[in-house]
Structure 1
């Protein structure tokens, strides 16, 4: 009897051991879908709101399950993060290295006004998370490495009901995440606002514009339209008394962004909404597709010439070979690649091949009006009007001996592309020297700064520059016959606004109205809106209307023009009609 009990006890222990071993094995990984709810909609829903990546979100993927208290030697939460859509935690391991834990799932309701959050609007914006490819970020590192672009290496992981989440356990347990180093470097990195402040403080600090352009060209290929200032970190490299900031792109949520359906199609064909177009073999309207980067690109790419752009385009096309692209997509889970890999590779390869046309069109767009801000230190601006109409601009620092020092900016502009260049002296006692007799077809605006500036303009120059500065400070101005002086006793005259750019606009207008006297009124028109320097909300606006009234059975033609600050600070409005 005792032997039977012993045998039964041994069997029970063996079975418990097997169950425990199975439980432990299961805890190492899990196979789940990132968002199966997106695929639980009918054909009517898909017709109007699109198919997007619903099948991808609903496809189970094997993920590694981590224990925060054991992972990387033990990860501790140091900060709650997240933007308008993503929930994230900043973690630190025992060596002091920081890690980012970001949800694959998104929560866009935080971008809605509070009054709309209890309404159907919340359901619609949540549904449109399906336009994001949940595993796209895994493809990026191989491509970025081929281009020598710094990048973090993300991993898809799963966190269960983990005690290591502490006070965040309720909101962060039982979910899939991207886990990646907060920076690919051991050194501390800075955000974009700090980098811009450092560049303005001293002319010995600059950004690596060529590497920034290369990173932006990769965005074209990836279809990543959300590369605004907050989606970059910067590493400071110091050498021989100068600091160069290296760009580190981050947050790849919009890579391979894909929409379909009636409502998304209508939306992405609206003005300034072309960035919402689906990822395909090319980019429709590349200038407006870069809407979210409209300020970033004008600041961090303002020194690069056409030759610089072409060199970087060729570099990207050569380095992103078919083999590299194929290796990049091997980082996707097998089940996901089977559903979307072939189409994405076809689109990416096509964009690589078309990069020259797309990028050079955007280069010409950026080069129409160019802002060149200097620093708060002393600089010497040399503007050379060449005989062929080109405008060559060089900026040197002024050293302690009062002489021209190192070159901090150099670019040649051609009037076939560039219409206007604006030089900003910022603070510091700056010297502006304009040479040449013929003058360029490019309009030149020189904006001084908070200290005493000197403006030397070649007498009799054909195309007189515009000069802006304080009238109540000890500045040295040329005569009015050599320059167009715009002076004021106001700090606003020297203000540099890096977020001032506005798009021109044109398009068809419609209007339908009804009243008892005139009956049904049908109107069609066309709008042309042009932007200009320091003119808001536009420099000029033209509206052409053709109106038909069923009550009077007659046509009325209308023309409305509005010119801001046409005469001094006075606007000019013209309104004419023909019955």
Structure 2
């Protein structure tokens, strides 16, 4: 018996060992999040992970964001840079001594400067620092501030997919459609994620972001009693200031509504919903995240969610029914994946030097993933035809009546004409292609293909889908139909003609070939997108060496090395072609760059691509109107070149960056040389490049128009030269340069030399151009990095303003000239400004003083005249004109100045008129703005029912009896500061002049003072003048200017007016109004608005027009305008909105809902019966067409009135 037991035990041990040997660990993934701080100079969690986990080729370390607190990595010029980067160094060194372990960093919100304005620059600094270390096993992904997704193969069974979740919710500058990111929009990212999931369907997919998709910590809305009583401890752990009741405002508000970093916030919710919709149906995905300062294991019916954010901090965490493990602790997590495809999770708690495995569990067996349904058509041999006769599109039918009048005939005949196309055989064309990825712009789709020789090609759809180019609120509406129909203004075959012109001009460009793509199973995943469509096939790199660079990467090369240059005359030659063919869509992403070796560095020459808009022309009223007013670049391919300055709108920054070294003489020389190449023979050849079926429709017209535009090209291009030369930016590089400004026969000559690292000489000239005041107003010299030198000769006395931005490094400024020179630099650096220099110095402790932005130019706005209209019950319709002028300037946020003036005159017998002006001049005095308001109204129409909370409204006398008319002039000059984004503080002198005419108020309340609580009729009709001080606080922390659903608006206005004549009373007055907008989630049908406010006059005496008021126009919608007036007021109310449905009519699409409101308020007046609060309630309907305008109709009830109110936006409000 004992022998049998012994044999059985041996067998169990044998088979157990056998199974264990078969199920060995094939990969270990270490998860550490929010590790951005050290503890006493050490990193306990990183050290614990290094001791606990074997760091070898099977191990991958993944840092889940917030790798540096609190605002990411500062500029290395900042004095505390070494201290700031220390936590990052500690994380990188986890694999010190072992170069086989791979380390990946995912960005978090703190790495993006805590989600602030400088977040993009901050994340690039982290990436640059990691790259400089030169360790190929350590990377930050996604790169360049892109959103991802980034696919990394761990091994044959495991794929790691990383996305930058902060990119999704970041509200400030981030890479977008004109960046070098492989996926530039959220839609493209989701498409790529879907593709990654499809091709890895049988693998374990680790989906990693910084922000968790499920959590029960503070970011998930969890707060304890401690936060209600001691609310400041979340910001400062030891700040125990008791605020019972009041302290609950913060945790309750955040728990329900959240910030952008909380799961409850609409931005965050939208990200979760969009990504989860793509992932669902893929059971082999495990979600990985940090963000919360603790450890969580959450497991629902579909997925596992691991939160490892205890890298250096701890915060509270609760549990739900799906929580398997949760701990308020520092620590890390490991995932162990066995060869048998079992996934095991281990949670380690770290306390100082001690490490404890606190939880372990097998969470997934991905060997049992169900097979995905096969595409049965793939097994059928597909038969290709040679050609097909079909039109480019059948979407543009010939319009009639109003539609033709608005949109135009355009190129509809060209689109509709059947053409013989060659069938695209993906397996045979160019020897056969493999599909690399999906791409495309805002309207077209493209496939990146690779032939058997490794050469890349682009297959692009000819037909366009405008949906992606439209704002979400306009999709599926008449606007989408209009935009789609307007595509008929594009010539589908223009690339054929442009290719001929480009060749003649010596411009390297792809020669497109047209094909028809059949419903080919070989397209696989992309089959629904490209089947049965006309496409173009182009060489992606039409240069001799077959290698081109993107504009973004070329810019980086120029900044890194001043030996590299742009072939600016070649680019200008290419831009002449753009003007000739009216191709207005030439932004930076429409260019690639070939490379020549100069022996000294690289010379980049332009390779234009994507000729979608060449020959664009519309004969419809809509495009015609837009081209005259707001979108002048749409003038199109007409015989006369019109509005050349506006033509460059899409390339406004590109041209100013890449053509800044070409002077007028060279510009004219290049333009004339280009025109000489555009011979009649070349133009005729271009016109005949169309398909045979299209030639009768297009050839003659194209030839004639090209010849006419050729005649004007030199003159018009020089006009454009002068336009882009008003403000010229000249930048150095990260090497050292010498900028020298001298006088050249009355012109300012700018030379930039390379300062050799070895010989420290300046013999190598990088830049040379003359400037004249007739053309140029301002020069901006950016040194960028390096120890740069700036010298202006004594005889330079031009009126051209010179701004010098030194950049990082020890810069030297020797400014001898008498021109206006401004110097900007970081004052922590030991920069040298020679004593004799004549400059205005703007040295700052803010490292951003040296920032350089390529995307800087904005077109000024000048609207003269501007038609105005108004209405009131007594004067009727008022008509008038005005103007609006907005100018932009250097570092003026959001613009340099804005002037609005309007005049209104009533043609009625009353001959009322008014003039209003508002001027805003930003950063006029250092960081302070100047605001000027002025108003002259003759007369105004208002309502007055007397002073007091219990005044009577005698309905027998009618509303007209309570109307008052008086004249006034008001104005104030305010100095405004904006210390943070959502706060404005203004203060300055103010003036007010009142006068009245008895005849305007005869038989009305002002002429019958007995019932108005006024006691001096002479004062009412006397001239009154005041001057004093006004101060104002504006807080606007809302999620939308037009339709806020979250946040706070709070306005407080204080004024102290001194009487300037004996009939006036001095006055001190304050009013405050706070509005809180709340919505539980972006998909909730309910939203609410809470409004509360008060006002008070500190003086015993005041005039009726100075009193604080309540009524339909201010806070009590069930009462007449200004129904109650007094010395003090208080009001509170709430609106509840419920969205009934979303109208989806093509004509009018938008949200339709109900409004319900309740309000209360009262005034106090000394010596008069105070009474009680007045109540107002009611409701109605609202409609938000296209989410661009709010239209509402409500009825308000009170004890004395039933009032109907109709509003249209914020400008029109009618109560009756």
SS at match of 1:532: coil
From 150, 157, 161, the equivalent of 2:519 is 161
From 229, 244, 268, the counterpart of 2:627: 268
Q: What does residue 487 of structure 1 align with?
A: 843
Q: Distance in 2 between matches of 1:455 and 1:256?
A: 49
Matched, 1:340 2:715: no
**Contact 1:36/1:59 (<8 A) preserved:** no
246-255 or 164-173: bigger deviation = 164-173
Secondary structure of the 1:535 match is coil
Task: Determine if contact 1:283/1:289 at 8 Å carries over to the other structure.
Answer: no
Deviates more, 1:42-51 or 1:320-329: 42-51
2:499 corresponds to 1:124: no
Alignment partner of 1:418 out of 771, 776, 782: 776
Whole-Å Cα distance in 1 between the matches of residues 661 and 628 of structure 2? 32
Deviations 1:208-248 (A, max 9, x none): 11100100010000110000011111112122131011110
Asked if residue 171 in structure 1 is aligned to residue 171 in structure 2, the reply is: no
Deviations along 1:70-119, one digit per CA (max 9) or x if unpaired, are 11111121111111111111111111111111111111111223343232
Q: Give how far 1:486 is off.
A: 0.9
Measured after TM superposition, the shift of residue 252 of structure 1 is 0.1
Superposed displacement of residue 38, structure 1: 0.4
Matched-pair contact (CA < 8 Å) for 2:804–2:824: yes
Q: Which residue of 2 aligns with 1:504?
A: 860
Report the CA distance between 1:258 and its aligned residue.
1.1
The 1:266/1:464 distance shift into structure 2, 3 A limit, reads closer
1:91 equivalenced with 2:449 (yes/no): yes
Offset of residue 547 of structure 1 = 1.2
CA shift at 1:187, angstroms?
2.7
Residue 308 of structure 1 deviates from its aligned partner by: 1.0
Residues in 2 aligned to 1:481 and 1:573: alpha-carbon distance in whole angstroms: 34
> Whose relative contact order is higher, 1 or 2, with alpha carbons under 8 Å and at least 6 apart?
1
Q: What is the rounded CA distance, in whole Å, between the counterparts of 1:497 and 1:445 in structure 2?
A: 15
Partners of 2:395 and 2:774 lie apart in 1 by: 53
Q: 2 CA distance for matches of 1:173 and 1:163?
A: 9
Structure 1 residue 517, shift from structure 2 partner? 5.2
Aligned to 2:396, the other structure's residue is in SS state: helix
Distance in structure 2 (CA, Å) of the matches to 1:219 and 1:232: 12
Distance 2:495 2:902 in 1: 48
How much does 1:343 deviate? 1.4
Q: Whole-Å Cα distance in 2 between the matches of residues 402 and 455 of structure 1? A: 17
In structure 1, stretches of 5+ residues that fail to align are 1-22
- Is residue 833 of structure 2 the alignment partner of residue 477 of structure 1? yes
Q: Choose the corresponding residue for 1:220, options 567, 571, 579.
A: 579
- CA distance in 1 between counterparts of 2:777 and 2:711 reads 30
What is the RMSD of the two structures over their aligned residues, measured on CA atoms? 1.8
Secondary structure of residue in 2 paired with 1:123: helix
Question: Is 1:537–2:885 an aligned residue pair?
Answer: no
Contact 1:558 1:577 in 2 (8 A): yes
Larger helix proportion of the pair: 1
Equivalent positions of 1:63-82 (< 5 A) are 63-82=421-440
Is the Cα–Cα contact under 8 Å of residues 143 and 325 in structure 1 kept in the other structure? yes
Aligned residues of 1:76 and 1:164 also touching (Cα < 8 A): no
What secondary structure is seen at the aligned counterpart in 1 of 2:852? coil
Does structure 2 retain, via aligned residues, the 8 Å contact 1:31–1:62? yes
More moved, 480-489 vs 311-320: 480-489
How far apart are residue 518 of structure 1 and its match?
4.6
Post-superposition offset of 1:478? 3.2
Question: In the aligned structure 2, how far is the partner of 1:450 from the partner of 1:323?
Answer: 54
Q: What residue in structure 1 maps to residue 563 of structure 2?
A: 204
Q: Could you list the per-position Cα deviations for residues 517-550 of structure 1 after superposition, in whole angstroms to 9, with x for gaps in the alignment?
A: 5532323102232222111232223333221135
Q: Is the aligned partner of 1:573 residue 2:931?
A: yes
SS in 2 for 1:72: helix
Alpha-carbon distance in structure 2 between the residues aligned to 1:414 and 1:81: 45
Partner of 2:810: 452
Specify the alignment match of 2:472 in structure 1: 114
Which shifted more, 519-528 or 446-455? 519-528
* 1:40-69: CA deviation from partner (whole Å, max 9, x where unpaired): 432331111111111111101111113111
In 1, distance between residues paired with 2:464 and 2:820? Answer: 54
Q: CA separation in 2, counterparts of 1:112 and 1:533? A: 31
| 1:519 and 2:876 are equivalent in the alignment | yes
Deviation (angstroms), 1:438: 4.9
Listed one character per residue, the Cα deviations across residues 5-30 of structure 1 (whole Å, up to 9, x for unaligned) are xxxxxxxxxxxxxxxxxx99x92111
SS of alignment partner, residue 252 of structure 1: coil
3-state SS, counterpart of residue 746 of structure 2: coil
Please state whether the residue corresponding to 1:335 is helix, strand or coil: coil
Matches within 5 A, 1:317-466: 317-386=675-744, 388-399=745-756, 400-458=758-816, 461-466=817-822
Distance 2:796 2:676 in 1: 42
- Counterpart of 2:491 in 1: which secondary structure? coil
Number of the residue aligned with 2:405: 47
8 A contact 2:398–2:409 mirrored in 1: no
Secondary structure in 2 aligned to 1:254?
A: coil
Which structure 2 residue ranges, 5 or more long, are not aligned?
1-381, 939-1216
- Tell me: CA distance 1:539–1:28, structure 2 relative to 1, closer, same or farther (3 Å): same
1:356 positional shift: 1.1
The 1-side partners of 2:635 and 2:922 are apart by 34
Q: What is the CA-CA distance between 1:202 and the residue it aligns to? A: 0.9
User: Does the aligned pair in 2 maintain the 1:260–1:278 contact within 8 Å?
Assistant: no
Match of 1:137 in 2: 495
How many residue pairs get matched?
A: 552
CA contact (8 A) 2:917 2:934 kept: yes
Q: State the shift of 1:505 in Å.
A: 1.9
Choose 559-568 or 198-207, whichever is displaced more.
559-568
Deviation, 1:124, is 1.8
Residue aligning to 2:418: 60
TM-score (norm 1): 0.92
1:404 counterpart SS class: coil
Alignment deviations for residues 369-400 of structure 1 (CA, whole Å, 9 cap, x no partner): 101111010011111134x4311010111112
Q: Is the 1:389–1:415 Cα contact (8 Å) retained in structure 2?
A: no
Look up the match of 1:3. none
Q: Determine whether 1:230 maps to 2:230.
A: no
Q: Distance in 1 between matches of 2:875 and 2:929?
A: 33
**Structure-2 separation of matches of 1:305 and 1:116:** 44
**Counterpart in the other structure of 1:528:** 885
Shift of 1:480: 8.0
> What's the CA shift for 1:206?
1.2
CA distance in 1, matches of 2:899, 2:475: 38
Aligned to 2:642: 284
| Residue correspondence of structure 1 range 305-324 to structure 2 within 5 A | 305-324=663-682
Whether contact under 8 Å (1:389, 1:441) holds in the other structure is: no
Match of 2:392 in 1: 34
CA distance in 2, matches of 1:338, 1:43: 26
Larger radius of gyration: 2
| Structure 2: distance between partners of 1:321 and 1:481 | 54
Shift of 1:174: 1.4
